[in-house]
Structure 1
Amino acid sequence: MSILEGVESVLAMFEQGRHEVTFNDVIDELGLARSSASRLLAQMVRYRLLELQPSTRRYRPGTLLIRAAQAATQAHPFDEQCRAILAALSDSTGFTAYLSMLDGTDTVVLQRLNGSNPVQVLSPPGARRPAFTTAMGRVLLSRLPEAEFRARYGTSGARELPEAPAGCPTTVAELAERVASASRERSAIAVNEGMPGIGAVATTLADPLSGDVRGLCLSFTAMQVSQAQAQALRETLVQAVAPVGQRIGDPLWLHPGDTTGQ
């Protein structure tokens, strides 16, 4: 197997819906010797095709791949429509806006638009967060069919979520309730959840042609926005996204009562 064939084979493992692979996965599924797998993975980490998580010894897509994917999405007409919505909202509110996607059980930032407010909530493109800890994550999870949600989180509602921050769901059942609420309301709010002192409102758009789903979010510090203002900000976000969803034929916005989430 050539080095390029090896790289292609490792990256193809992520096409199966995974967001992490292990050293043993590569050995078992690609039939490589331990020494060959070690050299291949080390080279892919060196050239930023993979990122090794020190705590788990698992491999994720590296920054070079994420940057390349970001460049591709920036040229995607659907993402440009999402960006236009966020740019207008960031300009009008002064808050930081994010365009994100779901990868396994994580959200991944694709684009960030800085607002004019002197206090900004900043996460770089490529940043990941566990989906259950954020408004963005829960609206993206609400787009999954129930079977897919359970494939990612398990079938036991009593299963505890790992290291759940204060204010976040602690079990799969609690998460399913929050996701169901996000599905009904087509949006979500999170204040002082996951990140103390930070708040966000989020919703989603789906491209019926490609099947791509994007999360759109406005983020702010909890001191800047009251609960009533956060509710109003959520409504502003929904009102900005709804006509675009209707125009492109996103079923969530055409038929708001017909959702596929929890």
Structure 2
Amino acid sequence: MASAHELNRLQEMLTMDMTFLAQWAPAATATATATGPERPGTRSLARGIKLLRAIASRPQFGWRLSDLAAACELDRATVHRMLACLIEERLVAQCASDRHYLPGPLMYELGLALPDRVQFQRHAEADLQAFARRMGGVAVLLLRSGNEYVCSVRAGTLPVTGSVLYPGSRRPLFTSAGGVAILQTLPAGEARAVLLDNVAQEVARCGTGRLAALQKMRERSDRHGFGVNLGDVVPGVHAFGMPVRGSGDAVFGSLCLLGTPERHGEARLDILRDELGTAAAALGEAARQFNL
């Protein structure tokens, strides 16, 4: 947990609006632990949804019971009972080899009830494959999910380690260039509220170690007008993000390009911005055709 001294230092690092962030720590904690008064009869449902969101965030590796309980701020016995029910309903599966909890088949089956999104996903997969080949990197489509993003599509290869953006990955918006590109389109008040929540999530999950790097990426992105990460978060991995707009010009996600400093360096920012802008606009047009 961050000390009071560390929290005071973070107030200086987060420079978007100093008067707003002067008391960020208490507000961020409240945002992370509650979303408002619970309505009668909804407590169990809210806990179940929180549990499913957490499980869906790590589809490749799954969760140990103890880690899942800690992440959801619930006691182990409660989580164990809920998981037993979710497994019976096929919303959650348990790996036989390591007993980790993973997304179950019913999660996928429920998604099929949204055929327009399924069709857009298939269209986006083809578009991102072509974009990744042309740009010589990894193309990623992120979808906004509240204060977070979910990786929807990943295409291409990257000859470096450290990139963990795979389909199903869920992270706070401010942790990637694509998420920052979405934040840049939000009204000031909404963007500040999202940042408070994101900082609280980051401190709770990883401590304060990455906050300076994440702030550097956001400041760099603000200077250039789109998501720009020149190895700020993961050394050796450059990343760029452009918002994708659907029906009503609403931003529902972002297109990202991950690459190497040699091929995707600062000198090519203008070219990268134009390429991302064109590809993001094409995705947006497809999204509108599918009523997204």
Place the TM-score, normalised by the shorter chain, in its bin. 0.5 to 0.7
Hey, what's the Cα distance between the residues in 1 that align with 2:91 and 2:201? 33
Deviation of 1:78 (Å): 3.5
The CA deviation string for residues 175-217 of structure 1, in whole angstroms up to 9 with x for no partner, is 5x667557xx3x3221112111101111121321796712211
Is the CA contact 2:124–2:153 (under 8 Å) kept in the aligned structure 1? no
Hey, what's the Cα distance between the residues in 1 that align with 2:251 and 2:118? 11
Unaligned runs of 5+ in 1: 25-33, 52-60, 251-262
Distance 1:144 1:197, change over 3 A: same
State whether structure 2 residue 214 is matched by structure 1 residue 168: yes
Is the CA contact 1:90–1:114 (under 8 Å) kept in the aligned structure 2? yes
- TM alignment of 1:76-95, pairs within 5 A: 76-95=118-137
Hey, what's the Cα distance between the residues in 2 that align with 1:188 and 1:39? 42
State whether structure 2 residue 73 is matched by structure 1 residue 22: yes
Hey, what's the Cα distance between the residues in 2 that align with 1:73 and 1:164? 42
- TM alignment of 1:211-226, pairs within 5 A: 213-226=252-265
Letter in 2 for 1:22: E
Distance 1:75 1:134, change over 3 A: closer
Is the CA contact 1:85–1:241 (under 8 Å) kept in the aligned structure 2? no
Is the CA contact 1:189–1:234 (under 8 Å) kept in the aligned structure 2? no
- TM alignment of 1:1-262, pairs within 5 A: 10-12=47-49, 21-23=72-74, 38-41=80-83, 43-44=85-86, 49=92, 63-64=103-104, 76-115=118-157, 123-154=165-196, 162=203, 163-165=208-210, 167-169=213-215, 175=218, 185=225, 187-208=226-247, 213-242=252-281, 245=284
Is the CA contact 1:95–1:114 (under 8 Å) kept in the aligned structure 2? yes
Distance 1:241 1:101, change over 3 A: closer
The CA deviation string for residues 208-233 of structure 1, in whole angstroms up to 9 with x for no partner, is 17967122111112243321124312
Distance 1:192 1:91, change over 3 A: same
The CA deviation string for residues 104-138 of structure 1, in whole angstroms up to 9 with x for no partner, is 443321111124x6668563212234432321110
Considering fraction of residues, name the structure with more helix: 2
The CA deviation string for residues 123-162 of structure 1, in whole angstroms up to 9 with x for no partner, is 321223443232111012234333333333339x9x9973
1:258 aligns with none
The CA deviation string for residues 77-118 of structure 1, in whole angstroms up to 9 with x for no partner, is 443444343222112122111111233443321111124x66
Letter in 1 for 2:261: A
Number of matched residues? Answer: 216
Distance 1:248 1:136, change over 3 A: closer
Hey, what's the Cα distance between the residues in 1 that align with 2:85 and 2:261? 43
Distance 1:249 1:103, change over 3 A: closer
The CA deviation string for residues 28-62 of structure 1, in whole angstroms up to 9 with x for no partner, is xxxxxx966651245547966399xxxxxxxxx95
Is the CA contact 1:96–1:114 (under 8 Å) kept in the aligned structure 2? yes
RMSD between aligned residues: 4.7
Deviation of 1:164 (Å): 5.0
SS at match of 1:126: coil
Letter in 2 for 1:63: P
Hey, what's the Cα distance between the residues in 2 that align with 1:235 and 1:152? 28
Unaligned runs of 5+ in 2: 1-41, 58-70, 95-100
Is the CA contact 1:7–1:40 (under 8 Å) kept in the aligned structure 2? no
SS at match of 1:196: coil
Query: Alignment identity in percent?
Result: 23
Distance 1:111 1:168, change over 3 A: same
Distance 1:135 1:85, change over 3 A: same
TM-score, length-scaled by structure 1: 0.59
Distance 1:188 1:229, change over 3 A: same
Distance 1:105 1:142, change over 3 A: same
Letter in 2 for 1:140: I
